[in-house]
Amino acid sequence: MNHPISLAVIGGTGVYKLAQLDDVQTHEVPTRFGSPSGPVRVGTLLGQRVAFLARHGEGHSLPPHKVNYRANLAALQQIGAQRVLALNTVGGITDAYGPRVLACPDQLIDYTWGRISTICEEEGSEVVHVDFGHPYSPLFRSKVLAAARVTGVKLVDGGCYGATQGPRLETIAEIARMRRDGCDLVGMTGMPEAGLARELGLDYACLAIVANWAAGCGDAGEITLAEVLANVEAASTGLPELVGELARG
């Protein structure tokens, strides 16, 4: 790399490239955990070098439980990124998290199962026990909030992200349980990504893009892909400016 990478962004459903990323170079990055979801695109955004990786693949070919989260994070680390902003398309549960809201959660509950959730999986690996009380890096998260203020992007500060297995959406009863548990948002990719980032020593924060009300919440009817993608596009209009400002910080 000619210049250090200031920031890496992982795109979720509906975000398969980073708008306004110029002078893009494509990197195929093999890792000790296998291949990531696709190529890492590195370019310039508002004068800063930024890396982008589509979590589900650029053609959305990978369901949440099949994403190689370890390889994705390792690939970003190998090209020099130390800060990772995760874009997660989610459903809203509580009143402040309706469709087209952007949120920066500060807590997390993991309901997933059967996913490789640690870098300590292989025989002979060093066993690490990382502190995960605050699942998102507090200092980096504060910089995300500061970047939103500077750029005028409306962002809800805080909230609990509940990570479910997918790829199916949740039942009304499951969402009611999550509400009782304290979840404000529901998505399928928040874990093991956040935990792996901590094990790898990466600064990591989530920017949750609310695409729809979760089952039984708000005015939720049948959730359609067209609705989800339209809401993601509308909520994402300020993302390039926010990401560019964050990359400068």
pLDDT for the residue numbered 18: 84
pLDDT tier, 219 (very low <50, low <70, confident <90, very high otherwise): confident
pLDDT tier, 10 (very low <50, low <70, confident <90, very high otherwise): very high
Domain span at residue 194? 7-123+142-248
Would the pLDDT of 2 be above 70? no
Structural domains of the chain, count: 1
CATH of the domain at 78: 3.40.50.1580
- Asked, for residue 212, whether it belongs to a domain, the answer is yes
C-alpha dist (Å) from residue 225 to 14, 26, 31, 158: 10, 29, 32, 26
Q: Pull the structure tokens for residue 102.
A: 């952007």
- Show the CA angle centred on residue 207, arms to residues 17 and 185, nearest 5°: 120
Q: Is 214 within any annotated ligand binding site?
A: yes
Would the pLDDT of 132 be above 90? yes
Asked if residues 209 and 12 have their Cβ atoms less than 8 Å apart, the reply is: yes
Q: Is 188 within any annotated ligand binding site?
A: yes
Would the pLDDT of 64 be above 80? yes
- Asked, for residue 135, whether it belongs to a domain, the answer is no
- Asked, for residue 130, whether it belongs to a domain, the answer is no
- Asked, for residue 38, whether it belongs to a domain, the answer is yes
Q: Is 189 within any annotated ligand binding site?
A: yes
- Asked, for residue 2, whether it belongs to a domain, the answer is no
Q: Is 113 within any annotated ligand binding site?
A: no
Q: Is 212 within any annotated ligand binding site?
A: yes
Task: Report pTM.
Answer: 0.94
Q: Is 171 within any annotated ligand binding site?
A: no
